[in-house]
Structure 1
């Protein structure tokens, strides 16, 4: 092992942590910077976002989701310690205490610089039976493997998904693809609370049309088990829903147990607070990134928690650059996300109506229906685009899109417009690509922008 001039310790071996370690290593060699990384699981640098597609069968092999193995990281001069969990951060002593999960041995490791990339944990409510065999959260490759192992030995074909956010709808699709009868139990009035209810209703209708049983405005009160201890049903206050397997898709929270115990600053959503360089506020030698941090929403001006691999990888690159002696910043996000359930594409960026109200903004909303291609071209599919704009200025505030093939990625146009601070009137003049196989003469996003301009002027 190198005895370099400085030691960087990284907690967490997935996107943010190992991106930071790898970037720091590119900038500083082993004789200048020793890098020690701890990962409590069996895998590093993998795509958690791809797990539903692996479970659903679109991705054949687990290793297809792994971008870089532990061995590959070690070959690049990173002392990566797998199945080892950091259980304490001593900021005063500039050291961490780690425990080997397979043997139980504990040891302290000192650091000059520390990166916290502990990710997020699935929300697992404290309900009777929640830990029964056959009940699964899905956050890591280990979780995905455990679910697949259950699916392979389960004789029944009834599945209940608890929650109807991104994880819930993606896992509903995965289970449909596996031949299960799927019921989604959702405490909200419509699926996809990241959308406004009128757009969530479109998702509800489409999922019902796919044969998925949607149960909205229902909160799970317990998980019922059989004599063998395995799950047999999910209960709400009003009904029971038979289940041979249950998947929790309620969402995630920042995994900041260590950080909180160490007295590091947390935001309203429980995530670590950092500056633009991803340095933990008030701590010059500690950085944090990925799903364990809160980020600035450039539209509302508020801190948010968004668990996405795109942000985690960017955070890691920025942290690694700064730790390695370079300079980089992460200015914030506009809240862009895209998902699908079977052939339905769901996308959003910017603010929902309730976000705009919470931020004290006055706004107008418009919704339009259009097609993904010229109406006369084969395969043209319908989509609905909803747009929010500030009442007085016409500044774009948010866009939501629900539709079939060709709908989802159109949200990227709106994401760029939000980042640039464009008005809806400026958007109408955007020089977007056009040909009948790709778009109508007026792209659906621009049709919505034109309608929003009229609404702003009328208001």
Structure 2
């Protein structure tokens, strides 16, 4: 086992994780300091760097033709920019007191210690794989990395049967169900919640349920998977709940993810309630001057509730990396927090949310009013005006906007950005009604649906004052 040391003439930055947060941090730090001032060494245990995990369902479904379209920057491109990116190399230990990391080359098995002056932890998240009998059987897939996506596509190509079961109905579960339908599979979704998309309130999730059934997907809600059944060949043959069995030639786990922080925990670094690393606004790990963390392995501040959350999104990861890179490169930047904005789709149904759900608001001890309106994406008389439903939460006494959920057809999803900006600015619903939004019949009714909901919320709040 060898030890590589930092030279006295320059600092060394070591990055654990070669995807969005880690390589954004590396790239930003390199912009600020050249190789003569800062050596950058990054470790990635997979085969790919800087890829879009969010795009995997669309690759599986055929909307994205080639895997490499999901790669923003290859290892070779990073190396050309003066970043020593070591692929297929897994960090196995963090020695924070000694300022070094131990790594293992997954091809040769060789191990070595690498010292650092500054450390960035960007280990991402791992798919939740419940400890069920049969969960590790051939034909059962999680989907988090490009390696996972390629393995699933290979399985789909050689599987003779056409029955698929998706376990879970969050973003990944819903998107993978649609992808499998496009692949010609008969799809069943087994979901432990009352409705799909638990990031929405159940009344809005019901709209997603109906759309999925409209695609031919069989929805099984309020059902807990108890085991994965296998055949004589050891491959998956069915998914079992307490009440039924659902035949399956392939199973996709879409239950969600958890922060990948086993290394950080073993090193004694501070973790939050969701198991993610705790950082300050500069993304520096609390209590550690030369250690930063970002992306899916870190928790973030919810600007609406004031609590910390774990949200695994590439948008946040890239921003974290930019902030970290600026700080380790000698500059200054902060990441203040999030409002919880997300958007997805099922076929042509667009699904969006930001801020708090009803149960989030109750958990935060807030009193609130909810309103729901139905409108259209364009002026009602304009061709192809599509329906949408908007739900809005506002604080009872102050009228402060707390959350918005939108489900509808073309033009619905990105309207949530109006609400995201309003939440960030801590606007009241009354202030929202005066927003100067763009209008023309092909784009919106005279009163945009979000503003119609705001007007109704103003009335609801006034009635309860």
Give the TM-score normalised by the residue count of structure 1.
Answer: 0.99
Match of 1:162 in 2: 167
Match of 2:414 in 1: 409
2:45 pairs with 1:40: yes
- CA distance in 2 between counterparts of 1:183 and 1:399 reads 29
Match of 1:126 in 2: 131
The SS at the match of 1:161 is strand
Can you list the C-alpha shifts for 1:384-412, whole angstroms capped at 9, x where unaligned? 10000000000000000011111100000
Structure 1 residue 208: deviation in Å?
1.0
- CA distance in 2 between counterparts of 1:103 and 1:187 reads 43
The SS at the match of 1:58 is coil
Match of 1:348 in 2: 353
Match of 1:75 in 2: 80
The SS at the match of 1:131 is coil
Can you list the C-alpha shifts for 1:250-307, whole angstroms capped at 9, x where unaligned? 0000000000000000000000000000000000000000000000000000000000
Can you list the C-alpha shifts for 1:126-179, whole angstroms capped at 9, x where unaligned? 111101111000000000000000000011111100000001001011101111
Question: Which segments of structure 1 move beyond 3 Å, counting only runs of 4 or more?
Answer: 1-4
Q: Which moved more, 1:32-41 or 1:224-233?
A: 224-233
**Equivalent runs, 1:363-378 vs 2, <5 Å:** 363-378=368-383
Match of 1:192 in 2: 197
Q: Which moved more, 1:278-287 or 1:97-106?
A: 97-106
- CA distance in 2 between counterparts of 1:342 and 1:232 reads 28
Out of 366, 385, 388, the position equivalent to 1:383 is: 388
- CA distance in 2 between counterparts of 1:241 and 1:61 reads 32
2:357 pairs with 1:357: no
Structure 1 residue 96: deviation in Å?
0.3
Structure 1 residue 369: deviation in Å?
0.5
Structure 1 residue 343: deviation in Å?
1.0
Out of 194, 198, 206, the position equivalent to 1:201 is: 206
Match of 1:110 in 2: 115
- CA distance in 2 between counterparts of 1:444 and 1:229 reads 52
- CA distance in 1 between counterparts of 2:301 and 2:210 reads 33
**Equivalent runs, 1:264-303 vs 2, <5 Å:** 264-303=269-308
Can you list the C-alpha shifts for 1:359-396, whole angstroms capped at 9, x where unaligned? 11100000000011111111111111000000000000
2:333 pairs with 1:328: yes
Match of 1:172 in 2: 177
Structure 1 residue 344: deviation in Å?
0.9
Can you list the C-alpha shifts for 1:393-450, whole angstroms capped at 9, x where unaligned? 0000000001111110000000000000100001001111111111111110000000
- CA distance in 1 between counterparts of 2:437 and 2:71 reads 35
Give the TM-score normalised by the residue count of structure 2.
Answer: 0.98
- CA distance in 2 between counterparts of 1:318 and 1:434 reads 36
Match of 1:148 in 2: 153
Q: Which moved more, 1:446-455 or 1:196-205?
A: 196-205
